[in-house]
Amino acid sequence: MNSYPAPALARVEEMVAAAATDPARAVAFQGAPGCNGHRAALEWDAACLPLPCFSFEDALDAVKDGRAARAIIPIENSQHGRVADIHFLLPESGLSIVGEHFMPIHHALMALGKGPFSAAYSHPQALGQSRVFLRQRGIVPMAYADTAGAAAYVAELGDPELAAIAPKIAADLYGLAIIEDNVEDAADNMTRFVVLAREGLDPAVLGDRAAMTTFVFEVKNIPAALYKAMGGFATNGVNMTKLESYQKGASFAATTFYADIVGAPGDPAVDRALEELAFHCKELRMLGTYPQERTRG
């Protein structure tokens, strides 16, 4: 908690105390009050008690420790790709994905002064999503742990030549003026969040609702292993909407894949596809089956 800038710390302490009164309603998110994770928690569950956490690991630990029933974590952005480290953190957390939420992302440039500005602080994702805007104005991007925390940090520094890129609400929370709104480079900028809990959902409880299933796997180190592993999804008509690879360990010999499919275990086609996948894998770990918030395909 003490890693937050002073302007954010009092609000963090208030929200942590409120969440402690009813952990079953608490939803952990990464960042300072006013960040996009805070917004996503309230959009996903308007009755929740948002619990700010300084890092993604802290948010996941809050669920594992029982201080929150769920955590909401950004996993990918339409403009800037996957959120760093999340693919490593989710499998290691031991938590299960129980929901997803898509949220349009709009950034504002905010500051104490009126400009020009030498630098702008924000989360690396927000800086990447506003790259063209910053370059055209000669503003140096400076990475910070989260967007709203960057706004609080700029307020704490008191330098009129520094700015922050954050949600509009952060300007109100930390006494900054909005210099320019909607500074993201793409009007359709969208982030997908996943909701995690200690216990996964039983696919049977979803009934006829459209479902997503997420898993990670490592194929055997033989020629065409990935090609063969993917064949079961094609032959059984299972739509794979996401497949990303990342290196596991420092040897560069073992590649792990992260995948989303439409459907749920219990569906014969999905079961057959997963059975064929498992045959070609050294490891297959299910991360959760959950209701589909947005139609794929």
Hey, which residues are catalytic here?
191, 193
Provide the angle, in degrees to the nearest 10, between the axes of the packed helices 86-93 and 56-64.
10
Distance of CA 198 to the CA centre of its chain: 17
Place of tokens 């959760």: 288
CB 258 within 8 A of CB 101: no
Q: Which residues of 166-205 are buried (b: 16+ CB within 10 A; e: fewer)?
A: bbebbbebbebeebeeebbbeeebebbbbbbbbebbebee
86's tokens? 């999340």
For strand 70-77 and strand 81-82, is the pairing parallel, antiparallel, or unpaired?
antiparallel
Place of tokens 């991360």: 287
- The DSSP annotation for 11-47 comes to HHHHHHHHHHH-GGGEEEEESSTTSHHHHHHHHH-TT
10 Å Cβ neighbour count for 272? 15
How far, in Å, are 94, 249, 289, 296 from residue 212 at the CA level? 19, 28, 6, 10
93 DSSP assignment: H
